[in-house]
A and B are shown apart, each in its own frame.
Chain A
Amino acid sequence: MSARPHFFYVASISAITVSTRPRIRTKIKKFAAAIVVLGLAAIFVSLGFWQLDRAQELSASEKSAPLQDQRIYDLTDLTSSEGSLPVESFDKSVAATGNYIATFKAPNQKAADGSIADWEVALLQVDPTSAILVVRGLWSERLTEPTIAMSNKVELTGVILPSQFEDRAANTSSQISRVDSSLLTSSVDLQLFDGFIAATSEVLRDGEIERTRIDISLPKADVPGYYWQHISYVVVWWFMAALVLWAPFYKRREIDDEELLAS
């Protein structure tokens, strides 16, 4: 084996180190750029999906039922006190039997015809462990008939609706800010159904209670804009994602565009 001078090895190692350093730097730069590009593309794609969800939400909220379901369901056939109210149950007629155990005032409520009034909302216990909120009628009529004030067993028919999400007044022990059972979970020792029933008839042992019933429309989705507007934004965001992915492969001619940008 031929002996090589020491300086040869030193020079070789230095040369290797010098030549590999920029390569490693370039690789790190490329890797970082790839991460940034993929990150941006992922953000744009998810923004597109977000807009798609909003478009679908809008579309679902604008769909009217093709045929009004005339059937009266038992409350427990449509929902349970352990879960949230299924969307397909909204606006369906339901029947329930139980006793009213509490009454609340729900101020400044808006009916389907646009009229604003205070409503009487009661908690109907339907079995030993669960209860549901019922919009019985106008607060001003709660004492006009003695039968209304009595807490006898009541056979109730009404329309089931999702809980409200916008406060209309302050929340106190005797009044609720919105028709939403989640406001009562801390004060009532029962499982509360999600949603509420807008009563259309209440029958006591003595007969049906006569009072003004309130027609409540389904709340509209809180999504601003229009379906095709959101779809256009889906295309824009995904297009941006494609643009970001294409960017690293774009080769420009050496021209002084910076001058144009600066001007």
Chain B
Amino acid sequence: MKTSFSASALARFRIMAILCGVNLVLLVIYMIAKYAFDAFDEGNPFIFIPIAHGYFYIVYILTVLQLAVQKRMSFLLILALVAAGTIPVASFIAERKIVQKYS
């Protein structure tokens, strides 16, 4: 069965919300380990975590905007979803609420 454009936009948003959420949780652990316990030296294998955060977030915002335009969301809701990508765990909550409302 062919998936509708709107459904795939929702799927893209869900994937990015989960990815962003997981990355943010990892980033929090990374920051605590780095600055509180001085755990990482230069060239550590986990540097992808802070670097990936910015790029995941850009793609996450794009998926939010695509979904927002399709569903004609209020601007306040768009802002809330954009902000959810910067707060640990908030993107998981946002993903659940959006799925409940639009799926």
Contact = CB atoms under 8 A, between A and B. Distances in A.
B57 A261 contact: no
Interface residues of B, number: 21
B75 interface: yes
Contact of B55 (A226, A232, A257, A260): A232
B97 A253 contact: no
A258 interface: yes
Contacts of B82: 243
A232 B58 contact: yes
Contacts, number: 55
A236 B57 contact: yes
Given A226-B47, A261-B80, A232 B74 contact: no
Contacts of B74: 252, 255, 257-258, 261
A252 to B, nearest CB: 5
Interface in B69-101: 72-78, 80, 82, 97, 101
Interface in A224-244: 225-226, 228-229, 231-233, 235-236, 239, 243
Interface string A13-33: 000000000000000000000
Interface string A200-229: 000000000000000000000000011011
Given A226-B47, A243-B82, A261-B77, A235 B54 contact: yes
A186 interface: no
A258 B54 contact: no
A233 B54 contact: yes
A263 B97 contact: yes
Contacts of B65: 243
Interface residues of A, number: 22
Nearest to B35: A224
A226 B27 CA distance: 14
Contacts of B1: none
Nearest to B98: A260
Interface of B: 47, 50-51, 53-55, 57-58, 61, 65, 72-78, 80, 82, 97, 101
22 contacts: A225-B50, A226-B51, A232-B51, A232-B54, A232-B58, A235-B54, A236-B58, A239-B58, A239-B61, A243-B61, A243-B65, A247-B75, A250-B78, A252-B75, A255-B74, A257-B73, A257-B74, A257-B77, A260-B97, A260-B101, A261-B76, A261-B80
